[in-house]
Amino acid sequence: MIFDPQAFLTGLGPAVLIGLAIMVFIESGLLFPFLPGDSLLFTAGLLAASNVIHVSVWMVIVVAFVAAAAGDQVGYILGHRFGRRLFKPEARILKTRRLDEAENFFAKYGGAALILGRFVPVVRTYVPLAAGTAQYRYRKFLVWNLSGAALWTIVVTILGVLLGQIPFVRNNIDVIAIAIVIVSVLPIAVNVVIRARRNRRARNEPGDPKNR
């Protein structure tokens, strides 16, 4: 049910903001990256603007912002205190490879990764952890974290409000939610395919000891 944002949000009734906050917080800070953060915010904005859920759009934005910022705080603290000890190469969720990717992303973009990563599923879960692991200065982290949380929640929620005015979008929100997930995950999938091809090519090169 949590992967059907419309059913999830409407099913919560008066507790819709609490449910939204919990989902955003878990995805942002508790190292569980497979929750529908983007599609959930988009759908919440659409449903709030359409009065399907009885909360205002700005309440959705404020609650999601607080949850997202608080989640990243937890991620930073976990990285600062435990670092790589939380990860194992063959783990189902906390794979070392995922932390490596987040650390490379953070190393490439610096503090701005906390804003850019907000718009990339999986990455937004692990980048705060990577910042903590790298002992990134907390004051800088706080500024980037709050900026990223604000931009992500406002942009995605308002997109839901604006596009929700289009009848096709409003009448096919379940399909749109799936499309958002696919578009969000597509860059990650492409990166995995490219890396797999490079590894296969490297193994097939004459200099590889396995080919001797």
pLDDT of residue 16: 92
CA R_g for the chain: 19
Which token pair is 81? 């205190």
* CA 45/CA 143 separation, integer angstroms: 25
Per-residue pLDDT of the chain (212 residues; tens, 9 = 90+): 556 788 888 888 889 999 999 999 988 877 776 667 788 898 899 899 888 888 999 999 999 999 999 999 999 998 888 877 777 777 666 677 777 777 787 778 778 888 888 887 777 888 888 888 888 888 989 999 999 999 999 999 998 888 878 776 666 666 666 666 565 555 555 555 665 676 677 666 665 555 55
pLDDT score of 205: 65
pLDDT of residue 19: 92
Q: Is residue 98 part of a domain?
A: yes
Residue 211 lies in a domain: no
In a domain, 149, yes or no: yes
DSSP 87: -
Determine the distance from the C-alpha atom of residue 86 to the mean position of all C-alpha atoms in its chain, rounded to a whole number. 19
Looking at the 3D structure of the chain, how many domains does it have?
Answer: 1
| Domain containing residue 104 | 5-206
